[in-house]
Amino acid sequence: MNFVILYGTESGNAETVADDLVDELSADNDVQSIDMTDVELDTLTADAFYLVVCSTHGDGGLPASAVPFAEVLDAEQPDLTGIRYAMFGLGDSSYETYSRGSERIDERLTALGATRVGDYGRHDASDGSLPNDTALEWVRNLVAGLDADADADADLDDVAAVAR
């Protein structure tokens, strides 16, 4: 599978999560990791599956590196129909705006036609766990679900072929 990780960070945690996701997935997949600051809209493709990893800063705001991406989405309003992605938010539940920054990106992607797949992963910094551990567990479950969906699709194709 072709995975593209888009990370938005302010103090580096989401980037280290992205690095660990690359390590986790690269044995069996094509994987690249891109800071949201560097995303060019015309490179977004339905041929990839996107893993969006984004923290929250300020009071429920976007982390610095996600701001240009959000701004270009707002300005260009691209049609993202066919784009599939999964979300992982980093935050701290001691804030009332827990994980809101990631949700701001998620809402934009969905509004522009992209489809979120799988469970919305979240890491809560207030519980003392490492975001990397939570993210690895999340991505393993996600990939298992994607593999199961692909197997089910293949079975349906086989049934259709037999019926023809």
Pick 55 or 80: Cβ nearer ligand FMN: 55
> Which residue number is nearest to ligand FMN in terms of Cβ?
91
Pick 15 or 80: Cβ nearer ligand FMN: 15
End-to-end CA distance of the chain: 29
Sign of the torsion formed by the C-alpha atoms of 30, 91, 135 and 82: negative
The rounded distance, in Å, linking the Cα atoms of 151 and 114 is 23
Q: What residues between 7 and 66 interact with ligand FMN by CB under 6 A? A: 9-14, 55-60, 63
Quick one: tokens of 138? Answer: 């999340």
CA angle 36, 42, 47 (to 5 degrees): 90
Pick 100 or 104: Cβ nearer ligand FMN: 100
Pick 102 or 143: Cβ nearer ligand FMN: 102
Q: What residues between 117 and 156 interact with ligand FMN by CB under 6 A? A: 125, 131
Least CB distance to ligand FMN at residue 161 (A): 47
The residue among 88, 153, 155 whose CA lies nearest residue 117 is: 88
How many of the chain's residues bind ligand FMN (CB under 6 A)?
23
The separation between CA 86 and the C-alpha centre of its own chain, rounded to angstroms, equals 4
95 binds ligand FMN (CB under 6 A): yes
Least CB distance to ligand FMN at residue 152 (A): 35
Least CB distance to ligand FMN at residue 50 (A): 17
Taking the CA of residue 47 as centre, how many other CA atoms within 13 Å lie in the half-sphere pointing to its CB?
4
The rounded distance, in Å, linking the Cα atoms of 69 and 41 is 9
Pick 10 or 20: Cβ nearer ligand FMN: 10
On whether the CB atoms of residues 4 and 51 are closer than 8 A, the answer is yes
Q: Rule CB under 6 A: which residues touch ligand FMN?
A: 9-14, 55-60, 63, 90-92, 95, 97-100, 125, 131
